Each structure stands twice: as structure tokens, then as C-alpha cells.
Chain A
């Protein structure tokens, strides 16, 4: 049994709970126990919050790490943003004694202290390294062979690579392996590694970045976009729902955990497809298709 503290963050529980549902349905079948701890807050956000005050960012991240430390658990997340914040904070605090001193003097005011006794991994990485791809394949109950899935990596699962330590940031294979393990067919397309645009403060640029990726994946022959970050999920759902991608070029957006759930035999309804703005078609187990 693999036991981890489940770090939910903000976007998943409060905007896209279908991702949380997929995680909570699928992980027990792979003997991953996710423990809900009290006291976690926003990670905090690695782009906007950090841009306001990096030391505040580091302090709040360190506070979250202490919550897992007290429970004696390592952290598992389902969000690349949470992963990058917590992993980078941990990396900084483990390599910079000056920062530990500064952070701990701030944390002392709330009776906490960072000790460095936890680790942080994205569940996607845990699936590959701790659960194992064979175990995933063995848990597949419903064949979804033939479904072509365009993997979108997102920036912060892989970068900065010396902190993430997940895969080669230019030639990653992690998500293709995960997709293939459930029997779907991973599709490579030119924009697979591009930024979804979520982090850019501008009226038009983020949408332009997201549109490029959706269209590139569609042109690559994909039936769906598959990703492991709720911010990317948000970018692609919103940009398509607001009509910036023509109907015939649209692609349903799935969290990898939903794809895994489908392969394990859970229904589209259990996995929350009814809440998707871009409808998930029958071949992918949509609730509409099944009725």
C-alpha cells in the first residue's frame, strides 16, 4: 500500500471537482491510499502569487509542507502548479540554509517550523515510479483501444527540470507511457510541449496560446486532449467554450485520471463528464452517449 497526503489545491476541488472524483475513484484500485489532512491552504500559486511576493510564497508553501511533516507523510498532488510550488519550495529550503532561517522565523509566529521531512510528487509521477505501468494495465477493465489521445504536458510538471526531476523537458515520455498503459493511443503533435497560456496576464494572448495547441492536436488526428494539470484543463475548456475554436476543430479535454477511470470501467457520469463544456463523445464513455 502506498500512503500519501493528498494535496488538493484550489482549482481541482473548487472548480473542476470531476478531476478529484476521478482521482478518488481510481487510486484505491492501484493500492494508493490518499490521506486527507487538515490544514492545507493554496500551495500558493507559482505564478501570480509568487510574482507579488516570493518570500511570502515560500513561507506559505513551507507552512503546507509542515502540515505533511507533522503527519509523517509525503505529499501527492494532481496539479502541476501545486507540484512546482511545493517541490521548488522544498528544493530551495533544502539547499539554502539562509532561506530556512528566514522562513522559520516567520513560521514561528504560528508555532510551526520547517524540518524538511517530507517529499512532493505529482500523482502522474507516482503512477510511473511507485505504482508501475504494469499495475495500471492490469487494472484496465474496459478496452479503450483505438482512442487517440493528444497528450498536453503543461509547463510545470517538467520545468524547471532540476527541481521537477520528472522527465526530459524536451523529450518527455511520462504521459505517453501512462496513456499507452490504459490501452489508448498517444498522438504526438507539434505543440505538445507549448504553454497553455494560463500564466500570461493579457486580454488576448492566453487564448491565442491555447487555440494553437488545440488546433495542433486536432490536426495531429487526436480524439481528445489529455493532461495532468487543472490550469491547462481550464485553459482548453474555456477557450473552446467561448467559441475561439470552430466546432469541427474542437477536442474534448480529459484529465488523465478520468481516462484511467474510463479504462477501469467507471462511467462518464461518475467521472463528471456531464460538467464538461466541450462534450465528451460516446466513444469516450460520455453520459449522453450511454443513454
Chain B
């Protein structure tokens, strides 16, 4: 659809996404494209544009989102679009909301699931290694304290990745 046509908003998808939206609003978007010019992902990934993501939300175009390799996973969360948007849409934040919604449907790229689980189980995204322990010693640095994993486990629910998680 061209931006000039009237947009028939799909309120169902917007309502489904609403609980995941912390900031921003797709409804305020007038499809000006100011968010696209300096989007690094748009410059590198064919077909990606924050303007289009917002339009797809408004149109309720679920198909373009519902897969683990959907374009919406390519955003690099640089937040340049938040600076550019004259309407306070916060496209980068809406993309995070779409991702949260996809995760609830068990559509989550492995890279993300691994990071969530690492924080849940070890409290950190980078595992300890003996090589780094040696470097720390050489640099005269103290041992990295253990993270309070008990607290994290009670705060963070287990991630459901559908069938893929069972290994």
C-alpha cells in the first residue's frame, strides 16, 4: 500500500500488541519516512524500514512478523529513529514490543533465547572463562563475584521456545 492511501487500521493486532508497548504509539505515525533516512539496518538490509514496520502494525499484517527470521529481528536498536520521528511514535520501541509479542508465541531466535537464559541461570551474558580469569590476574584485577542467581530465577520465568527448547 502507498502511504497516500487511507490506512484501515487493524485494531485487533494493535490491541494484541498493546500490553507489550512501553513507549510510543503506532497510531501517531503519518508515514513521513523521517525514521528511515539514517536507519543503519535500512541501509544494509533489503526491504527493512522502520516506517514499514509501523505500517505493518497498523494494517495488522501479521504474516510479515510471524517467523523467526522476520525482518523485524534485524533492527539494531540504535534508537536513531526515536530521535528523528516528529510524532513520538518511537519505532525502535515498537519493534521491541513486536519482538516481545513474537517471543510469547514461541517465535524467538536462538541468539536471543540464549542471552535470556544466560542471565536467568548465571546472572550474566558472558560466561566465565579460565583464559579471562588469567588475564584478570595478570592485570591485578579482583575475582569477579558470583551473581545472585537465586534472586534472578525467582524474578525471571522460564522461556518457552515451543518444541525447539527440548534438548
Give me the interface of A with B, judged by CB distance under 8 Å. 8, 10-11, 13-15, 17-18, 20-21, 24, 36, 38-42, 44-54, 56, 58-60, 63, 92, 99, 106-107, 109-110, 112, 155-156, 159-161, 169-170, 194-195, 197-202, 205-206, 208-209, 270, 272, 275
Contacts and interface: CB of A to CB of B under 8 A. Distances in A.
B155 interface: yes
B82 interface: yes
30 contacts: A11-B125, A11-B126, A17-B136, A21-B140, A36-B142, A39-B148, A44-B119, A44-B125, A46-B77, A47-B76, A48-B125, A50-B77, A51-B112, A52-B100, A52-B115, A53-B100, A54-B96, A54-B97, A92-B23, A112-B151, A170-B83, A194-B40, A195-B40, A197-B76, A200-B40, A205-B45, A209-B44, A270-B139, A272-B135, A275-B135
B22 interface: yes
A169 to B, nearest CB: 5
Contacts of B20: 54
A200 B41 contact: yes
Contacts, number: 175
B116 interface: yes
Contacts of B157: 56
Nearest to B79: A159
Nearest to A37: B145
Given A60-B155, A110-B155, A13 B144 contact: yes
A16 B151 CA distance: 26
Contacts of A54: 20, 22, 96-97, 100
B157 to A, nearest CB: 7
Interface residues of B, number: 57
Contacts of B109: 201
Nearest to A46: B77
B147 A51 contact: no
Contacts of B55: none
A107 B155 contact: yes
B77 to A, nearest CB: 4
B99 interface: yes
Interface of B: 20, 22-23, 40-41, 44-45, 73-80, 82-83, 90, 96-97, 99-100, 103, 108-109, 111-113, 115-116, 118-119, 123-129, 132, 135-136, 139-142, 144-145, 147-148, 151-152, 154-157, 159
A171 B103 CA distance: 37
B89 to A, nearest CB: 13
Given A51-B99, A159-B78, A159-B80, A18 B139 contact: yes
A42 B147 contact: yes
Contacts of A110: 151, 154-155
A155 B78 contact: yes
Contact of B119 (A60, A159, A194): A60
Contact of B132 (A15, A160, A194): A15
Given A14-B129, A53-B103, A198-B76, A42 B124 contact: yes
B156 A60 contact: yes
A52 B76 CA distance: 14
A159 B83 contact: yes
A206 B99 CA distance: 19
B96 A14 contact: no
Given A39-B148, A52-B103, A155-B79, A14 B111 contact: no
Contacts of A39: 148
Given A15-B126, A60-B156, A42 B100 contact: no
Which of A15, A39, A51, A205 is packed against the most chain B CB atoms within 10 Å?
Answer: A51
Nearest to B114: A48
Which of B96, B119, B140 is packed against the most chain A CB atoms within 10 Å?
Answer: B119
